Structure 1
């Protein structure tokens, strides 16, 4: 069963650029992972220091595999200094069609 999430990452403004660069640096590798169907980071349109990541995984194993990768763990390690609050991970239901 596929899993779809919207990650809301609230950052300290002084670290927003570095966080965006760090996430951009793992996009290609993440998209090549088995089970990754979508991994699309987006900055907030209002210019606030919020980064959203829309992601879809084939199953929980693919989602957990992604979070176990050294490049993903390195971004999370950097987040320890950069975050303005906890990352919110919202699970989305299948689209309305």
Structure 2
């Protein structure tokens, strides 16, 4: 399978901004070092500072699977599950 993109949208609870900033930094820096990572970008909404969008590009499904089992991803996912108001993940394949 060819490269895949992930768009993850998180709406965090306002009281957790400081904790998320620490975890986001760790997640992004470590993810960018992974062999299958082509792009890992964290964005914040200009309309709602509690909304973050992560845009990722991975070399393959296998690279995503490996990423999902890394300590930095597991730590972030566990925290986000408990401290997000909303979390949506969409895996996409390029068509053109």
TM-score (norm 1): 0.86
Q: Are 2:43 and 1:42 equivalent residues in the alignment?
A: yes
Structure 1 residues 51 and 65 mapped into 2: Cα distance closer, same or farther (>3 Å)?
same
Aligned to 2:14: 13
| SS of match in other structure, 1:46 | coil
Structure 1 residues 42 and 89 mapped into 2: Cα distance closer, same or farther (>3 Å)?
same
Q: Which runs of 5+ in 2 are unaligned?
A: none
Instruction: Determine the C-alpha separation between the residues in 2 that align with 1:9 and 1:47.
Output: 11
Instruction: Determine the C-alpha separation between the residues in 1 that align with 2:23 and 2:79.
Output: 9
Matched pairs, number: 95
Please state which structure has a larger fraction of its residues in strand: 2
Q: Are 2:91 and 1:94 equivalent residues in the alignment?
A: no
The alignment yields a C-alpha RMSD, in angstroms, of 1.7
Offset at residue 28 of structure 1 (A): 1.9
Summarize the alignment of residues 18-37 of structure 1 with structure 2, pairs less than 5 Å apart: 18-37=19-38
Residue by residue over 1:19-65, the C-alpha shift from the partner in whole angstroms, topping out at 9 and shown as x without a partner, is 13211112222111111000001111113311110000000010111
Instruction: Determine the C-alpha separation between the residues in 1 that align with 2:36 and 2:21.
Output: 23
Offset at residue 70 of structure 1 (A): 0.9
Instruction: Determine the C-alpha separation between the residues in 1 that align with 2:40 and 2:6.
Output: 10
